Structure 1
């Protein structure tokens, strides 16, 4: 196990001494400002795109995005296998320059609580004044404002966010779509889906902010990569909050995510850690909103599909014909690049695997929504052969089958299972709705898996 300290710097003039909380920590310094005074690692890209349409966020919102970028650096470049005692829980401190350290220090316990829940690690956060030569990071626009979005919508390139954007546009809204990406696969789907929306709704004004936020493999060590990426939604929310703050007023950030994935009840006892994400869990979203309020940002998060399954989202889409025609161009898979390493696949092009948890929920949703699914999957036919549960192709299927079996034998357990991923104390009046969403979502996948055979080879 190795303790890490990530120290954020704002250019070469930022030389303030940092006192780590532990003497044996591994210190990594990251400068978020280049030699020309431009904010790097994708944050400047987002700021430039906002400025191009006459929008400028507050420095507080920029500091939130800077915090999110530092979290991303730590989360994606500190290995759980090599640096965590239990091959999962890492110990990470962040040291960041902000405009108002007193306000941020007062929120440090909330930030730590939020991050610990989100990623399963032990975090520490420390704040100091920005260097005097960098009083502002957001350059004011030189153009008149040309964007007047009615709201912000997270836009990942997946099926849920595509449905969310369609529903907003069909209702006459003009959302500002916000995306972040690192790999080319995600970028390709985000770009295509954004252009498809513009073709479908030519009368609507659709602005799309896309930021490539990521860090080189050697930013922390000679070569260190972590692929669990549990902190990614903090970055997603922070970029969206920065855009919403730039719009002004009481801004709403729409977080389109089906209720089954949002709750993400572990399918078996082994899925509480590595295989159970909390990226849109109600407890996490409530803590992030609490942070926004503490920072004085008039931004609210809203998941309009918190009590719908993915299939219900698809079936209820405001433009079902358009969705049916374009669904194959969205990306839901947790590891689409794995197709490049698949044996006996002549094209080896990135595509949906067809058997991971997000793929199974997607396939079930399309079956529920309209039936035929023309998405390309590595495992195209789940019924074609017995799936090996000792491999990924059958392991997730079997987990769903076991969860469905346990639910069938004891339906009352659902009322307790929904609390396993995290507290639902922020919404005590909606517990029955969470339970119903969880049960409906599992049964939706169950209909997809009827007749599918999965066992050890």
Structure 2
């Protein structure tokens, strides 16, 4: 196991000595500012888009975005398999220069709690003053403000965010859509879906902020990349907070169905390593606390937290648009894995059809729209016996086991919903969370009726 320290630098003038918390820590320094004092790695791209709209966020939200980018660098470039003792839990310190170090140091314990829960690692965060000459990182607008919005809405290119944006615009709202991406597949789906919505609602002009945030594969010496990406929603939330702050709005919509948001592990093996917490209620509440601690009147809201994905689809405010375009959204956890297929057609990026998000999507499309026209790597789950010892059948079998256990002991749902994390922030919502968990599993269960999965 290797302890890592990722030190953020703000340009060539940032030469302050940063001593790692441990003498044996592997040090990686990353400069986030170029010679023109412009933030790199996608943050400057986002700030430039805001400036073009006549908007300027506060330095506090820029520092939050910098923290999120540093987290992303560590999370995606420090391998779990080689840098941890158990092939999962890493030990990483983030050292950042910020405009108000005392404010951030006071929030450090809360930030550590938030990140530890989100990624399953052991984080440390340390803050220091920005170097002289870097008082402001937000570029001053050169144009009058042209952006009007009443909220911000996360827009991933997936089915849930597509529905979320449609519902807001159909209701006469004016959200700014915020996206981040690294690979071309995600970018393509985000652009297509945003263009479709813009054509559908031509009188409700909205803006789409897109940031390509990512880091080179060789950023951390001696470590391969990491594709579990458990920290991605912290970056998503931070970019959205920066946009909301610049706009002067207080609401960030996080469109996510309740089953995925809770993400109760299908079996004990998924509790830590394979159970994401990107929109879990406990995590979102902690992020809200960070925003409050920074004095930002902004909060996150998931209006679909008590709805299954199928109910979201069925209740979409524009059923015709959703029916026509849903197939162009991307829900798969790793669509790029198709590139390794032997068949040329199979190598085209598409949903795998068998991961947890794909199975929930397939069930929702049938449940909410009556049919699913999405191209999948496995078009028909019933065509053959799926090997549960391989990816093609592992999650199918996981759902079948979870459904079987629930059928034998329905009362276990009351306990299961607490397994991914505490729900102490929402004591009055436990019955609703239990219901969406059970309804969501049963929705997938109807999809899997007649599907066979077992080890060969």
TM-score by length of 2: 0.99
1:335 corresponds to which residue?
A: 334
SS of 2:347's partner is coil
Deviations 1:211-262 (Å, cap 9, x if unpaired)? 000000011125520000000000000000000000114x100000000000
In the TM superposition, residue 359 of structure 1 has moved relative to its aligned partner by 0.2
In the TM superposition, residue 346 of structure 1 has moved relative to its aligned partner by 3.3
**282-291 or 330-339, which moves further after superposition?**
330-339
In the TM superposition, residue 132 of structure 1 has moved relative to its aligned partner by 1.1
In 1, the alpha carbon distance for the partners of 2:154 and 2:99 equals: 27
In 2, the alpha carbon distance for the partners of 1:99 and 1:372 equals: 52
Deviations 1:64-98 (Å, cap 9, x if unpaired)? 00000000000000000000011100000011000
In 2, the alpha carbon distance for the partners of 1:343 and 1:435 equals: 43
In 1, the alpha carbon distance for the partners of 2:140 and 2:257 equals: 37
In the TM superposition, residue 385 of structure 1 has moved relative to its aligned partner by 0.9
2:20 corresponds to which residue?
A: 20
2:162 corresponds to which residue?
A: 162
In 1, the alpha carbon distance for the partners of 2:270 and 2:222 equals: 31
In 1, the alpha carbon distance for the partners of 2:188 and 2:90 equals: 32
2:318 corresponds to which residue?
A: 319
Q: Tell whether 2:265 aligns with 1:266.
A: yes
Q: Tell whether 2:407 aligns with 1:408.
A: yes
In the TM superposition, residue 371 of structure 1 has moved relative to its aligned partner by 1.4
2:35 corresponds to which residue?
A: 35
Q: Tell whether 2:188 aligns with 1:188.
A: yes
SS of 1:265's partner is coil
In 1, the alpha carbon distance for the partners of 2:375 and 2:104 equals: 46
The 4+ residue runs of structure 1 with deviation greater than 4 A are none
In the TM superposition, residue 340 of structure 1 has moved relative to its aligned partner by 1.3
In the TM superposition, residue 138 of structure 1 has moved relative to its aligned partner by 0.3
Gaps of 5+ in 1: none
2:298 corresponds to which residue?
A: 299
1:179 corresponds to which residue?
A: 179
Aligned CA-pair RMSD: 0.8
1:419 corresponds to which residue?
A: 418
Match runs of 1:86-165 below 5 Å: 86-165=86-165
In the TM superposition, residue 342 of structure 1 has moved relative to its aligned partner by 1.7
SS of 1:209's partner is strand
SS of 1:355's partner is coil
Decide whether the 8 Å contact of 2:82 with 2:223 is kept in 1: no
2:197 corresponds to which residue?
A: 197
In 2, the alpha carbon distance for the partners of 1:255 and 1:298 equals: 17
In 2, the alpha carbon distance for the partners of 1:377 and 1:456 equals: 22
In the TM superposition, residue 345 of structure 1 has moved relative to its aligned partner by 4.5
How many residues were matched structurally?
Answer: 456
In 2, the alpha carbon distance for the partners of 1:371 and 1:343 equals: 32
Deviations 1:161-182 (Å, cap 9, x if unpaired)? 0000000000001110000000
In the TM superposition, residue 36 of structure 1 has moved relative to its aligned partner by 2.1
In 2, the alpha carbon distance for the partners of 1:60 and 1:358 equals: 34
Decide whether the 8 Å contact of 2:78 with 2:223 is kept in 1: no
Decide whether the 8 Å contact of 2:313 with 2:364 is kept in 1: yes
1:8 corresponds to which residue?
A: 8
SS of 2:345's partner is coil
Q: Tell whether 2:227 aligns with 1:221.
A: no
In the TM superposition, residue 274 of structure 1 has moved relative to its aligned partner by 1.8
In 1, the alpha carbon distance for the partners of 2:295 and 2:220 equals: 33
In the TM superposition, residue 448 of structure 1 has moved relative to its aligned partner by 0.2
In 1, the alpha carbon distance for the partners of 2:40 and 2:224 equals: 20
SS of 2:41's partner is coil
In 2, the alpha carbon distance for the partners of 1:240 and 1:154 equals: 7
Deviations 1:324-369 (Å, cap 9, x if unpaired)? 1000100000110111112335351100000000000000000100
In 2, the alpha carbon distance for the partners of 1:388 and 1:172 equals: 48
SS of 1:127's partner is strand
In the TM superposition, residue 140 of structure 1 has moved relative to its aligned partner by 1.2
2:281 corresponds to which residue?
A: 282
SS of 1:156's partner is coil
In 2, the alpha carbon distance for the partners of 1:130 and 1:91 equals: 25
SS of 1:369's partner is helix
SS of 1:28's partner is strand
Gaps of 5+ in 2: none
SS of 1:291's partner is helix
TM-score by length of 1: 0.99
Decide whether the 8 Å contact of 2:346 with 2:377 is kept in 1: no
SS of 1:27's partner is strand
In 1, the alpha carbon distance for the partners of 2:61 and 2:255 equals: 22
In 2, the alpha carbon distance for the partners of 1:222 and 1:196 equals: 43
2:373 corresponds to which residue?
A: 374
